[in-house]
Structure 1
């Protein structure tokens, strides 16, 4: 006679229950363990994602990730060599984050110009061939987008050497550090262990990649009434605030002083503060239109995230400063050397009360691409009459 389970001793019922669970698990141990490991690895990677904005250097490559986790990996040799060609891999954040790969030189390439580990690319992978997956501007700039860019980035990561055949011989493009750079991008965007990873894609589904953050919104002040006789006003500000200018500036010159309307009652004045071999800087002042002697330095805030600007930087002094009253935007462009292939560019938007950080582009290692610096901080500016609703990153 078969015993009735409810009448069995408690210890026997518990043993039978445990035995049944163990047998069920034993029928598919590999699948259960594998799924658990994938989930744990993806969760751990996302939980430990580096803070942004982020800037890193990996051997001959640099990586910049902005505040909405868009990242760029750029070739920038550690030896400081000036390259006649630009190579970068960029990726948007989010599950469907698009990949772009740019290769730009001083002149167009031949169809068989690119070599990976000594072998020429074939088919649609050739930049200048008929039916190529690359788009180009006819002047030496080539771009891959989407799946072809993702596949090429993974191929570059696995290669040891990349060369571009030119009329005067091959140009070697270093891949040292690219694998670490792509892994860092995956870390920042929460892709490690997923199908979307640039470096060593795993089995984690696309749905496990975090959504891209929205761009912060800054609301620009309405255009103020014009300021009469701007040059005379700037001259009066310099004369009547001589002690302040002497304390803040070195050997000031007044020829490039300027004044612009900031509000209906205040002006923004830029007084030449110092001049270098290839750039100059201005002291940024907020001044009542009716009292030019009451100038106050404007402390321009840096972007959130604690990125260094410089030990001796005065927040009220901006290099190559320019203010546009129509958009309420103040911009600064500071080159680290004359050709402008490294440096920092920033902008601020006046919201009617104070200046808010709007953008920051930066490249600390010089690499031969003038003025082309990766973004570390972006916002969306809206006019005072618009509704400042958050927008997805673009």
Structure 2
């Protein structure tokens, strides 16, 4: 499937074993709700209105570990600059006022009491409504219980007092602790120009590149049919020992994916495939940004950073369901985060 997120590359896997979140993240959706947990076991659950493009969305975020709180945010639909955001937004639960929602620069923040009130309502048959916005905003409860159950399961909270769904008397010490994010020390590559492979280099390297690919044609532009011309394959030196190989792998209606490989500068060893769905690279970083659909209201993103040996994945995320709420996407839902620490310069944001 090339017209949306590439299967197995951009679509976030729905994984049943909670422990897998430590390695690759967990994503699960049901009806109008979804949850995404990253490799540190921080989980984010988003709920939407039942009708696309109307109202908005709510996001609950909870870090791993015993006795951690759930934070809540609200995003109203805003598809154009002409949409005017209200000065006041009021939460109503079961047709009773539950207070004004605090306005922030990028959206609205729920109090702890409001957050718990919404969770209690949507996991049952309660009604949650936000009044004051440009459109009616009734939060759907369809799928909420299943998603909150998955969130509890991933974080090991089932049967504990802090569970959102199946509470019990198991001690909070049974709850999974947060997993440290992997540390990346970026290395700035040498300044060099990208150049096309020569014919002799291509003859040596192309079979090795093809050997790194799956059989489902995930880089069919460098292995064209008889009626097509092969895409140019380029080389960019990274240092004396390593080079970056790049080529256009696929093109679809509103996305295209570039392949990136790390090779030894003598082209003697086996290339290391980084991705076949990249968008660009610059100064030791490979980027990916792909639309979920042509409208541009949902995206998948990723990045990889050069550490002197390879490009290590520093981040992978989507913006949530394609619900016609925000151009550029509604939320930031990472499945993979890393702690990027430039040598001798302290920490930087992942």
Same fold (TM over 0.5): yes
Going by fraction, where is helix more abundant, 1 or 2? 1
Determine the structure 1 residue equivalent to 2:63: 92
Cα distance in 2, alignment partners of residues 239 and 87 from structure 1: 56
Instruction: Give the deviation of 1:70 after TM superposition.
Output: 0.7
Instruction: Give the deviation of 1:62 after TM superposition.
Output: 0.9
Mapped pair 1:226 → 2:191: yes
Determine the structure 2 residue equivalent to 1:56: 28
Determine the structure 1 residue equivalent to 2:217: none
Name the SS of the counterpart of 1:299 in structure 2: strand
1:156–1:386 distance in 2 versus 1, CA, 3 Å: same
Determine the structure 2 residue equivalent to 1:359: 315
CA contact (8 A) 2:57 2:139 kept: no
Any residues of structure 2 matched to 1:277-296 within 5 Å, and which? 277-286=253-262
Any residues of structure 2 matched to 1:1-394 within 5 Å, and which? 49=18, 51-52=20-21, 53-76=25-48, 81-83=52-54, 85-105=56-76, 106=78, 107-109=84-86, 111=88, 113-121=90-98, 125-127=99-101, 134-137=102-105, 141-144=107-110, 146=112, 149-165=115-131, 170-220=136-186, 222-227=187-192, 230=193, 233-236=194-197, 241=202, 244=206, 246-247=222-223, 260-286=236-262, 298-300=272-274, 315=275, 317-325=276-284, 329-362=285-318, 365-368=321-324, 369=326, 370-371=328-329, 372-383=331-342
Cα distance in 1, alignment partners of residues 268 and 224 from structure 2: 16
Name the SS of the counterpart of 1:215 in structure 2: coil
Instruction: Give the deviation of 1:334 after TM superposition.
Output: 2.1
Instruction: Give the deviation of 1:111 after TM superposition.
Output: 4.0
Cα distance in 2, alignment partners of residues 146 and 218 from structure 1: 34
Determine the structure 2 residue equivalent to 1:22: none
**The structure with more radius of gyration:** 1
Cα distance in 1, alignment partners of residues 199 and 248 from structure 2: 10
Cα distance in 1, alignment partners of residues 252 and 199 from structure 2: 20
1:265–1:61 distance in 2 versus 1, CA, 3 Å: same
1:99–1:238 distance in 2 versus 1, CA, 3 Å: farther
Name the SS of the counterpart of 1:74 in structure 2: strand
Cα distance in 2, alignment partners of residues 84 and 295 from structure 1: 55
TM (norm. structure 1) is 0.64
Instruction: Give the deviation of 1:350 after TM superposition.
Output: 2.8
CA contact (8 A) 2:259 2:278 kept: no
Name the SS of the counterpart of 1:225 in structure 2: coil
Name the SS of the counterpart of 1:199 in structure 2: coil
Cα displacement string for residues 262-286 of structure 1 (whole angstroms, at most 9, x for unaligned residues): 2234332433344444332223244
Name the SS of the counterpart of 2:195 in structure 1: helix
Instruction: Give the deviation of 1:64 after TM superposition.
Output: 1.0
Cα distance in 1, alignment partners of residues 230 and 332 from structure 2: 30
1:269–1:78 distance in 2 versus 1, CA, 3 Å: farther
CA contact (8 A) 2:183 2:340 kept: yes
Instruction: Give the deviation of 1:99 after TM superposition.
Output: 1.7
1:168–1:112 distance in 2 versus 1, CA, 3 Å: closer
Cα displacement string for residues 311-330 of structure 1 (whole angstroms, at most 9, x for unaligned residues): xxxx4x223132332xxx32
1:205–1:226 distance in 2 versus 1, CA, 3 Å: same
